[in-house]
Structure 1
Amino acid sequence: MTAQFIAPIPLASHLSAARITAFAGHRAEQCRIEVVAETGSTNADLLARIAGGVHSRTLNALTAPTLLVAQTQTAGRGRAGRTWLTAPSAALTFSLAWPFAAPLQALVGLPLAVGATIAEILADFGVEVQLKWPNDVLHKGRKLAGILIETATAPDRQLWAVIGIGINLAMPQQLQEQIGRPAANLPLPAAQDRELLLGSLLSGLAQNMRQFESEGLAAFVERWNRLHAFAGQQVLILDQGKTLHEGRALGIDQIGRLLLQTDAGDSPLAIMAGDISLRPKEG
């Protein structure tokens, strides 16, 4: 199915691409930064532009890493086709399209590297977070941010990863009730200057995407495991609400699988992400 592109509404005064660029610094000097007021999905927009290729007359094709920031997303997506629910100004929603000179299979574990990057940048802003396998960022046990990575190959055969990130800023109570579980908000000091935060995130992501391309997930395994929210805890691995496995979460291995110590054997069970989810065991 061909990706559908809906022209986003330009954002005049809320966020400045120039300020984000200035805060990002030299690490992101090759990156384009675009800001819009509203769009359906920043991931979908970038994927459509990749599919259009450099000869497309209707789309602004990508020729360099591109950060697309939206004040509001009306059709945001989460993992496994889930809807990312938000409200105007309730979240920081953006996507980074990054070209990789590597085969698709080399991008296994990329969400974990991105999660570690977000956590490290937020720590610089005084926000301590933990990571929930495979793609959530938690603050005080509640979901603060989510990651959705999609890949596409352009007509010129260039492989791109589109890294979608949503960070809660001020989640209304009504929306939390609609989601069905409590969510965390970014503490006010870190949320006050969104352009500084975005610039810092882009700088960290640009640096770490280059490291991931050259060193793979191995460069991030220890960093992720230090931030593991459920290390040593009993957890359930679920598929559409059905428990597949139960055991003690140990951490991730060199290709991003969750290692689970079960009662079934001496060797840990290695769990691939897929569409499954993790929950701490109650009681």
Structure 2
Amino acid sequence: MNADRIASLSRAGVAVEVVPETGSTNADLLARAAQLTQPVLLVAEHQTAGRGRAGRSWLSSAGNSLTFSLAWKFDGGLQQLSGLPLAVGVALGDALGQLGVQVQLKWPNDVLKDGDKLAGILIETQSASVDSGGGTWAVIGIGLNLIMPDEVEALLGRSAAGAPWLARMERDVLMAALLDALADALRLFAQQGFAAFSARWNLRHAWQGRPVVILDDGQVLQEGLAAGVDDSGRLLLDTAEGRTTVLAGDVSLRLGE
């Protein structure tokens, strides 16, 4: 992949960097956040220590996935970023749909294809310095499977999705298209928050109306029928006691019996 070509194909106006290999693009950009003055996209041809939500590893094989992170500065504090992972999911879903790959979304941060995980989103934050005008840097890490080799699926211990159609695209063109979709979404999110995305998220909700169990460290917290998300990005759950909301956090969502 070529950083200059991605930048020239994109209309996002974002600095682009490509490295052959690194541990984690998220960790790299977080380490640089205090020195950043503009949004930066960091793409790794191969990522050796990718991270998922709740400290999980993101497994990928060289050449068979896209692994990248986008550092983006927001003016407000953490409380104004509620629902950001879901908004990023909507942006990815819309972009992939335009490229011919139809996907669904699983709360709070997974992109599914045919019921299996195609992409994951990890957002980490760091306060911007007062000298740079304050605000919050969000580092948005995305791992997107293009081809899912049998050996990676075996390591995962579960089925996972690939998108061979995207694997045939020129990588620079694919990356530029995803960058444009993300930049547009982040600018809209900065203006209107997740409320601008909730209806589109609900249209792609993978488990709408199906019984689910909310788990935390293996313990059942709540169960009911998944009823989409509200304008803050909270999961709506219809339980025996009525409708309740679930906040994003170290929580896993699994189909109930």
What is the CA–CA distance in structure 1 between the aligned matches of 2:89 and 2:217, rounded to whole Å?
A: 23
Residue number among 93, 99, 120 corresponding to 1:146 in the alignment: 120
CA deviation after TM superposition for structure 1 residue 242, in Å: 2.2
Q: Distance in 1 between matches of 2:97 and 2:10?
A: 17
Partner of 2:24: 41
- Provide the C-alpha distance between the structure 2 equivalents of 1:189 and 1:105, rounded to a whole number of angstroms: 35
- How far apart are residue 241 of structure 1 and its match? 2.0
Does residue 1:106 correspond to 2:80, yes or no?
yes
Summarize the alignment of residues 1-283 of structure 1 with structure 2, pairs less than 5 Å apart: 15-25=1-11, 28-29=12-13, 31-50=14-33, 53=34, 61-155=35-129, 156=131, 157-189=134-166, 191-263=168-240, 265-266=241-242, 268-282=243-257
What's the % identity of the aligned pairs?
55
1:106·1:216 contact (CA, 8 Å) conserved in 2? Answer: yes
1:237 CA displacement: 0.8
Q: 1:12 maps to what in 2?
A: none
Superposition RMSD in Å? 1.2
- 8 Å Cα contact 2:93-2:111 kept in structure 1: yes
Moved more, 154-163 or 99-108: 154-163
Q: Is the 8 A contact 1:127 1:190 kept in 2?
A: no
- Where structure 2 has 5 or more consecutive residues not aligned to the other structure, the ranges are none
Distance 1:109 1:124 in 2: 23
- Measure the CA separation in 1 of the matches of 2:232 and 2:8: 35
C-alpha separation between the residues in 2 aligned to 1:90 and 1:198?
14
Could you tell me how far apart the structure 1 residues matched to 2:147 and 2:164 are?
9
Query: How many residue pairs end up in the alignment?
Result: 254
Larger radius of gyration: 1
The letter for the 1-side match of 2:93 is A
Superposed displacement of residue 273, structure 1: 1.5
**Change in CA separation of 1:88 and 1:190 when aligned onto 2, cut-off 3 Å:** closer
User: Contact 1:169 / 1:185 at 8 angstroms: preserved in 2?
Assistant: yes
SS at match of 1:127: coil
Distance verdict in 2 for CA 1:101–1:46, change over 3 Å: same
Secondary structure (helix, strand or coil) at the match of 2:68 reads: strand
Q: Within 2, Cα distance between the matches of 1:47 and 1:280? A: 34
Aligned partners of 1:67 and 1:95 also within 8 Å: yes
Structure 1 segments unaligned to the other structure (5+ residues): 1-14, 54-60
**Amino acid corresponding to residue 96 of structure 1 in structure 2:** L
